[in-house]
Amino acid sequence: MKKFIRTILRGTGQVMLQNNALTGLLFLVGIFYNSSILGIGAILGNLISTTTAYLFKYKKEDIENGLYGFNGTLTGIAIYLYFGLNFTSIIAVILGSILSTIIMHQVKKKIPALTVPFVISTWLAILAIKIFDLVPYLSQTIQKANSFDFSSALSMSLGQVMFQGSIVTGIIFVVAILVNSRQAAIYALYGAALGSLIALVFSLPISMINIGLFGYNAVLCGVALESIKWKGFLYATITIILSVILYLIFEKLGIPALTAPFVISAWIGLRLKGKKYFFTKLQTL
């Protein structure tokens, strides 16, 4: 049981690419601080996706490192965010989390899967629920802001990686990352700051910038491309900027961006770092 709990916590930590049970625990604390319903979604999605990997007898080391838990974690959070906690959303989380595990297993054989399984399974869940008009879509209200709040944008960008609109949650998240890696924490903050500032330069909606919507994909890009070398820092910067542009494109198309801008940007950034790096170093992600 102790090993299983550690696996689940690592699965939560891997949302931000941190293979650390304590980091995962702190992430859950941050989520529950903001929303108990989203916290339940995170745990349910993680449990289902991880258990599915065990049942399908996927590589034990990958499972215990949380690689089959983090996409399910995000799936659970996102579906409850968009549709609330009800019978339909519970079924959607279960099916979406199972699907995310299957997709993860197939995709990571060839390229870094990152959060592709979450994006695909959640898009399909949202589409199915909307087509059959099963439950109403919960619109997300954004409070109007007239001035840029850098501290809010910075913290909220971290929180929004797991769809949490809370400054305190964002602070807990950066502490959680710091527990595992000081460099990852620095790059997470860099991604949040640069992503928000780029959005400001492009004169994008202040309200959206302040609640971290243009920064959370940038946070993930920063962590995924973290490097102690200046060339690596440049690739991370390019990837962060690209994620902001891609988020805006998804918004214009009316498609829930989720973490798709991060995935596309990170793939490009990792490929720029080199073919060997792209196809081997991050195969487990």
pLDDT of residue 284: 46
Whether 122 and 191 map to the same domain: the answer is no
214 and 276 belong to one structural domain = yes
Q: Do both 109 and 158 map to the same domain?
A: no
Residue given tokens 């399910």 in the structure block: 72
Asked whether residue 212 carries a pLDDT value surpassing 90, the answer given is yes
Instruction: Kindly report the CATH number assigned to the domain that includes residue 45.
Output: 1.10.3430.10
Q: What is the mean pLDDT of residues 249-263?
A: 97
Say if residue 72's pLDDT is above 60.
yes
Q: What is the pLDDT of residue 265?
A: 97
| Same domain flag for 119 and 175 | no
Rounded to a whole number of angstroms, the CA Rg of the chain reads 17
The pLDDT of residue 141 is 75
Mean pLDDT of 160-188: 98
Same domain (yes/no): 126, 195: no
Q: What is the pLDDT of residue 273?
A: 80
- Give yes or no: residues 164 and 91 share one domain: no
Give the range among 47-51, 128-132, 280-284 with minimum mean pLDDT.
280-284
* Arithmetic mean of pLDDT, 249-261: 96
Specify the pLDDT at position 138: 84
Q: What is the pTM of this model?
A: 0.96
Residues 127 and 156 in one domain: no
Please check whether residues 167 and 114 belong to one and the same domain: no
Q: Does 214 reside within a domain?
A: yes
pLDDT for residue 285 = 52
Q: Which of 61, 96, 131 is the last residue of a domain?
A: 131
HEC assignment per residue over the chain: CHHHHHHHHHHHHHHHCCCCHHHHHHHHHHHHHHCHHHHHHHHHHHHHHHHHHHHCCCCHHHHHCCCCCHHHHHHHHHHHHHHCCCHHHHHHHHHHHHHHHHHHHHHCCCCCCCCHHHHHHHHHHHHHHHHCCCCCCCCCCCCCCCCCCHHHHHHHHHHHHHCCCCHHHHHHHHHHHHHHCHHHHHHHHHHHHHHHHHHHHCCCCHHHHHCCCCCHHHHHHHHHCCCCCHHHHHHHHHHHHHHHHHHHHHHHHCCCCCCHHHHHHHHHHHHHHCHHHHHHHCCCC
Instruction: Band the pLDDT of 37: cuts 50, 70, 90.
Output: very high
Residue 75's pLDDT band, with cuts at 50, 70 and 90, is: very high
106 with 190, same domain: the answer is no
Which range among 94-103, 152-161, 170-179, 223-232 shows the weakest confidence by mean pLDDT? 223-232
pLDDT of amino acid 277: 55
Final residue of a structural domain among 97, 131, 165: 131
**Confidence at residue 276, expressed as pLDDT on a 0 to 100 scale:** 58
Amino acid of residue 197: L
* Residue-level pLDDT at 55: 98
Q: For position 278, what pLDDT does the model report?
A: 54
- Give the per-residue pLDDT at 272: 87
Classify residue 144: in a domain, yes or no. no
| Domain presence at residue 145 | no
The answer to whether residue 138 sits within a structural domain is: no
Residue 282: the pLDDT is 45
- Dihedral angle computed from the Cα positions of residues 142, 176, 269 and 264, in that order, rounded to the nearest 10 degrees: -40
Dihedrals phi, psi of 176, to nearest 5 degrees: -60, -40
The pLDDT assigned to 172 comes to 98
pLDDT band at 143 (very low <50, low <70, confident <90, very high): confident
**Average pLDDT for residues 95-107, to the nearest whole number?**
97
**Domain assignment present for 251:** yes
Domain span including residue 165: 150-281
Average pLDDT of 94-112?
A: 96
Is the same domain home to 156 and 272? yes
Number of domains in the chain: 2
